Structure 1
Amino acid sequence: MSADALLDALDPDQREVAVALRGPVCVLAGAGTGKTRAITHRIAYGVRTGVYRPGSVLAVTFTAKAAGEMRVRLRDLGVVGVQARTFHAAALRQLGFFWPKVVGGAPPRLVEQKAPLVADAARRLGLAVDRVGVRDLAAEIEWSKVSLVVPDEYEKAVEAVGRPIPAGYDAQAVARLLTAYEETKAERGVIDFEDVLLDLAGMLVQRGEIAEEVRAQYRHFVVDEYQDVSPLQQFLLRQWLGGRHELCVVGDPSQTIYSFAGATPYHLQTFAQDHPRATVVRLVRDYRSTPQVVSLANRLLAPTRRAGGPQPLQLIAQRPDGPDVRYVAYADDEDEAQGVAHRVARLVAEGVPAREIAVLYRTNAQSEAFEQAFAASGIASQVRGGARFFARRDVREAIVLLRGAARATADDQSMTEAVRDVLRTCGWAERAPESRGAARDRWDAMQALVTLADELEAERARGGTRATVADLVAELDERDATQHAPTVDGVTLASLHAAKGLEWDAVFLVGLSEGLVPFALADTDAELAEERRLLYVGVTRARARLELSFAAARAPGTRAVRRRSRFLDGLWPQGDAPVGRGRGGARTGGATGAGRGGAGLDERVEPHPGVVDGLTRWRRRTADELGRTTTSVLSDAAITAVARRLPTSLAELGQVAGIGARTLGSYGLELLVVVRDSAADGASE
């Protein structure tokens, strides 16, 4: 693909990102706005124009899946040699390379679980710990290390940020545990994941020749999900840069949902101040979701806009209208699980693939009811964050057989045929088992390998080459190393945190009651704001279908004491959906902002002339920017109706004749600002 063709595939904002080849560059990218497309095309354009050498680019992100997707997209664009890795994967590779030179011998063994070390350190101090205590203390150790808080400063640090101490312990006890944990780790000769970043950063600070070698290798950096960087990651990034400014960061403060683990949007929000000459680009065209979903997402963040401070991005929907957002109140948790399973079964019957459906909840404990409901309904499901795909024994055995087949497959046999022949010996068949259980789980895993083989063959065919079984094995080895598992067919069950970075055709947001969303332990304004952002992330995972629900009671026959989440006040349709029992028997509310006609408005009210003029000027300006006709942006009748009603909220605007869900989702807040300012200007004359 030529350099010009790379740019032709982008919208104007994405193109602005792609041509900004010299840093510093800050991309504020809303959900579904094509940020990965923009930054991969930027890298590819830099390589095509000779500004970048592929090997001099290091792109870091936060999940192995995102890094894997970036590598695949770059490969599709004809770019190979760019390092796209997570922070930890990139640091681990460098640490392993330089350790023999700096320290000597092999690096210490990396432990994946802190629990045994934490329990041992606690026993040394005489601290009573159970399983929950060990988990909480391990999380606190991680937070202190990624926040660059040393044991002597722990008490002051938690007090300064208002961080709650793990239940059953005081700050002094946790501070002593931090020291004991490091001592225990040193005695065993092991390091943890945080040490990978700390040790590499320390090595770069102390050994100038090592730092120069790294900086000579990597001259251009891209950091995705920059709103989630921790102080430790930012410190390592500074050592990689060494005072240079060849940095492109991408993120969205409205998707900061890991503050409890040390992530902070501070560096993203202050990037322009720290880099006064930075190019700042905003991506707000949402290509993922329908106007109905985008409208709800924008309205969910409206209180954040009114609160002042950094303003969240307002998404502009690019897709055609879709189904209304559904709102359902169920009698109890069991009823909710059965009702959602019933709705999912209907979608699957209508042709929506099960893998394109997700059920998202606040806590992992909520998954069990839905797992049982789907099993009873005969619907395949998978819990995201469960057993790792490549750790499964059946998957490991299948890869061993594929590795052997790579050496024995005849040249004239297609790769996909050879893969199917091998996997038939591992429990795969053309048709899935009708019953659920271990056999179906095994088949689902094998089918994921078949699907990956089909995708790889199609990809290579587009490039004019022929895929082999050896190519598939190499792809699986790379995915195993980065934990970029292929997709298993089935409805995804995931926590809202685990859903970050993913998307589905249909999303069910469940359990949206007070105490869950926001979570009961969220007390401060900052914690409540993060809970709102978490719900926003859930909403923006949906492409076309979105359903929000809560249950009034926990169990059948118990009192209906729950109320829906406060975040849905003003968004849930007027007159709460009444609670019903049975298989999805609860009645539903309609879509927000879908009203028509402006009932009760006296048509004899004269439209405000200043608002008419203001809206007309705004319409002309917007039409020119988008290259559209003025009436396609906003009709004359809609301008008149808005100028009569003078709405002050999105809910009021949605009731105005001529203002549909697409207009509301794309321009709602802009229109309210025009109405407010134009009316104020007229009043002051």
Structure 2
Amino acid sequence: MTTLSPEQQAIIDAPLDPLSVVACAGSGKTLTAVRRLIEVRKRLGDHRGRVALLSFSNVAVKTFQSKYQALAQNLPAGIGRDRIEIDTLDGFITSNILRPHAYRTMGTTRTAFLVMGNEPFLKRFTFKVSYSLEEESHPLCITKMHIGLQTEDVCFYYANNNQKVALDTAYALNIVNCLGRNGAYTHNLGRYWCHRVLSEQPAILRALARRYPHILIDESQDINTLHQAILEQLMKAGTKISLIGDPSQGIYEFAGANCDFLTQYEQRPAIKNYALTRNYRSVPSIVELANNLSGRSDTADRAAPETLPGAFFIAYKNENAERERLVAAFGAAVLAAGLKRQCSAILCRGRGDLLNELSGNAPIGQGLVKGFAKAAILRDKLQDYLSAFETIASCVAGLLADPPDNLVAMITRPASYPEARSLRREVWKFTRNQDTGLPSALLAAKSRWHTLLLERSRNFLALLQDRFDLETADNLGRKLAKTKLLDAPLMVGGDLVTAQDARIRVDTVHQVKGESLDAVLYLAARKDVVALLGGVKTEEGRIGYVAVTRARNLLWLGVPANSLEELRPELLSRGFQEHLLSPSHP
């Protein structure tokens, strides 16, 4: 895409009113949103207010920032180039509301800090709930407590995978307030405290609305009820909010994001409505498939390339060797089509399923050892160093005698705790270095891997005590027991991604949302395929739709072989082609 379409130009040139933009996948939202951001700031002239462009992932934010920097180089200095803010929505409310102002509402004297869920002090705040009248109550993790708004009333529930359990409001509020008095919040509780700050400290709300007269929000289908409540507060105080998104890509319903704010926003009288209906990302056959799944009628801008493009389904047996053969065939197809393996991905439904599959469903320990094993798999199998680092930070805190309550936040949040740079560097070294830090997941777990983990953890903890006065807890050997480890590599069955295809990324659908990929292999279970074919009316169906629409040129859908006969007719009718995996393929 080298020139702006009439649809895109209309959005950029729209009046300085709040907008509702419903956009299809691959519609050039990034370029349109950044140019609209520049245009709004330009029209504000000498007004000292800032214009914010917000999204929901760090990947999206970096893309926006890169595009803005490229465009801003040619802008005149007088249009307020320094009065632009690009961030995640949670990052925006954290930096503007939560960290500077929430301590007063929380009833604490310390700056609020984020907890990841494994901090030792949180053991005092585990809570219990019964899944049914017949079952006993189970201790639950505070990070899985979710908060929503029903009309004006706050409600609390526990969400674990697809299971939701309502919590007694008074009981949940007591836990939340106790945590607040410690200055601690989870991602979900942070939004709750922001809403309360704006309600109980109206001067902060007025100042924030003056500072940000215009806010644009990308991926608006991911706004949950608490996000919406905060945005409604800002709108009442005078901020003009513009929403850009695609309801067909709403895949965070489990976190309270049901697309209602986006789909109903256009009905408000002061809102100007626009649409983006041209797909610049995918080849025509993938766009046609996406239209068949979503009921849309978007247009493909690209012509079909000469190399074999399109959407295919391919049967596989749920066995390690068969999955590896499928992955090898996919890697060969990517090369044959002249595509880049480093710009392609193998996708699975969920992180838990992915880790189980990559570890061959082998027992990987318990307690802190299980955390270290998980980090090794994240690093060595998924190449996900950040998640491995965050997991290690929580495990290390669990090995200390009396760590600061905010230690994990200090290690994992560099922008909030610049003074912890040296400590953070040492944790990164331990995470990344297989020779002196976290042992390789290819080693036999119970004997070699565990022996090295114990030895290196002792050395690392001695360093932390010497340099940072962080005292090691007693009974280290018991905390790092080898219980439930097998004497086999953590990565059972060899690499899912072979050395030949080492640059092909393995990830979840949620992690690649918002990205464009040359080729995608969606490794699906039967229920995932059924949901995909059912369209975008359910969250599971939308997850499949997101996987499909990431692909620029080549899409493979891995279908369980025992479900193929049942599913083949509808797969063909939707626009997939069948691809056969040769028995002789390596």
TM-score, normalising length: structure 2? 0.65
Aligned equivalents of 2:357 and 2:128: distance in 1?
42
Change (3 A) 1:123 1:113: closer
The C-alpha deviation readout for 1:165-205, integer Å capped at 9, x for no partner, is 55xxx756x65752453254245442222333222322222
Aligned equivalents of 2:129 and 2:344: distance in 1?
48
SS of 1:352 mapped into structure 2 = coil
Aligned equivalents of 1:241 and 1:547: distance in 2?
44
In the TM superposition, residue 358 of structure 1 has moved relative to its aligned partner by: 0.6
In the TM superposition, residue 43 of structure 1 has moved relative to its aligned partner by: 1.4
Change (3 A) 1:17 1:185: same
CA contact (8 A) 1:342 1:583 kept: yes
1:352 maps to: 339
1:507 maps to: 520
Aligned equivalents of 1:69 and 1:292: distance in 2?
27
Which amino acid counterpart does residue 520 of structure 2 have in structure 1? V
In the TM superposition, residue 243 of structure 1 has moved relative to its aligned partner by: 4.6
Decide which of 326, 329, 348 is 2:312's aligned counterpart: 326
1:516 maps to: 528
Change (3 A) 1:292 1:224: same
In the TM superposition, residue 63 of structure 1 has moved relative to its aligned partner by: 1.2
Which amino acid counterpart does residue 111 of structure 2 have in structure 1? P
1:475 maps to: none
CA contact (8 A) 2:517 2:550 kept: yes
CA contact (8 A) 2:535 2:541 kept: no
1:41 is aligned to 2:52: no
CA contact (8 A) 2:284 2:303 kept: yes
Decide which of 50, 56, 60 is 1:62's aligned counterpart: 56
2:329 maps to: 342
Equivalent residues in 2 for 1:99-498, closer than 5 Å: 99=102, 105-113=109-117, 120-122=124-126, 134=140, 138-139=143-144, 141-142=145-146, 144-145=147-148, 166=164, 171=166, 178-179=172-173, 181-186=175-180, 188-244=182-238, 246-274=240-268, 276-302=269-295, 313-322=296-305, 323-334=309-320, 335-348=322-335, 352-367=339-354, 383=382, 387-388=386-387, 490-498=503-511
2:94 maps to: 92
CA contact (8 A) 1:25 1:247 kept: yes
CA contact (8 A) 2:40 2:51 kept: no
Which amino acid counterpart does residue 314 of structure 1 have in structure 2? S
In the TM superposition, residue 33 of structure 1 has moved relative to its aligned partner by: 0.3
Aligned equivalents of 2:257 and 2:385: distance in 1?
23
Aligned equivalents of 1:494 and 1:164: distance in 2?
20
The C-alpha deviation readout for 1:505-539, integer Å capped at 9, x for no partner, is 1111222x42333479x9xx999622222111111
Aligned equivalents of 1:38 and 1:527: distance in 2?
25
The C-alpha deviation readout for 1:113-161, integer Å capped at 9, x for no partner, is 278677644567899677xx735x743x22x34768967x669x99xxx
Change (3 A) 1:45 1:164: closer
Aligned equivalents of 1:331 and 1:251: distance in 2?
37
In the TM superposition, residue 544 of structure 1 has moved relative to its aligned partner by: 0.9
1:638 maps to: none
Aligned equivalents of 2:332 and 2:303: distance in 1?
25
Which amino acid counterpart does residue 134 of structure 1 have in structure 2? L
Q: Which has the higher strand share?
A: 2
1:541 maps to: 550
Aligned equivalents of 2:552 and 2:61: distance in 1?
22
In the TM superposition, residue 217 of structure 1 has moved relative to its aligned partner by: 0.9
Aligned equivalents of 2:272 and 2:246: distance in 1?
16
Change (3 A) 1:317 1:337: same
Which amino acid counterpart does residue 228 of structure 2 have in structure 1? Q
In the TM superposition, residue 89 of structure 1 has moved relative to its aligned partner by: 1.1
SS of 1:58 mapped into structure 2 = strand
Change (3 A) 1:277 1:237: closer
SS of 1:383 mapped into structure 2 = coil
Equivalent residues in 2 for 1:27-38, closer than 5 Å: 27-38=21-32
TM-score, normalising length: structure 1? 0.57
Q: Percent of pairs identical after alignment?
A: 22
Change (3 A) 1:578 1:345: closer
1:74 is aligned to 2:68: yes
In the TM superposition, residue 44 of structure 1 has moved relative to its aligned partner by: 1.4
Aligned equivalents of 2:528 and 2:344: distance in 1?
22
2:14 maps to: 20
Aligned equivalents of 1:190 and 1:297: distance in 2?
43
State the superposition RMSD in angstroms: 4.4
Give unpaired runs (5+ residues) of structure 2: 73-80, 361-378, 393-410, 419-428, 434-439, 444-501
Which amino acid counterpart does residue 109 of structure 1 have in structure 2? F
In the TM superposition, residue 260 of structure 1 has moved relative to its aligned partner by: 1.5
Aligned equivalents of 2:566 and 2:318: distance in 1?
12
Which amino acid counterpart does residue 113 of structure 1 have in structure 2? G
Change (3 A) 1:567 1:122: farther
1:571 is aligned to 2:580: no
Aligned equivalents of 1:297 and 1:54: distance in 2?
43
Decide which of 508, 523, 531 is 2:540's aligned counterpart: 531
CA contact (8 A) 1:24 1:245 kept: no
Which amino acid counterpart does residue 27 of structure 1 have in structure 2? V
Aligned equivalents of 1:35 and 1:258: distance in 2?
20
CA contact (8 A) 1:359 1:491 kept: yes
Aligned equivalents of 1:213 and 1:271: distance in 2?
25
CA contact (8 A) 2:293 2:535 kept: no
In the TM superposition, residue 572 of structure 1 has moved relative to its aligned partner by: 6.0
Aligned equivalents of 1:44 and 1:76: distance in 2?
12
Aligned equivalents of 1:495 and 1:53: distance in 2?
43
2:400 maps to: none
Give unpaired runs (5+ residues) of structure 1: 1-6, 303-312, 374-379, 404-422, 428-434, 439-488, 554-559, 585-685
CA contact (8 A) 2:526 2:559 kept: no
1:660 maps to: none
Structure ID, larger Rg: 1
SS of 1:515 mapped into structure 2 = helix
The C-alpha deviation readout for 1:57-81, integer Å capped at 9, x for no partner, is 1222111221222122112111443
SS of 1:367 mapped into structure 2 = helix
Change (3 A) 1:502 1:53: farther
Change (3 A) 1:208 1:178: closer
The C-alpha deviation readout for 1:313-336, integer Å capped at 9, x for no partner, is 422100110323222122444324
Aligned equivalents of 1:186 and 1:315: distance in 2?
47
CA contact (8 A) 1:63 1:86 kept: yes
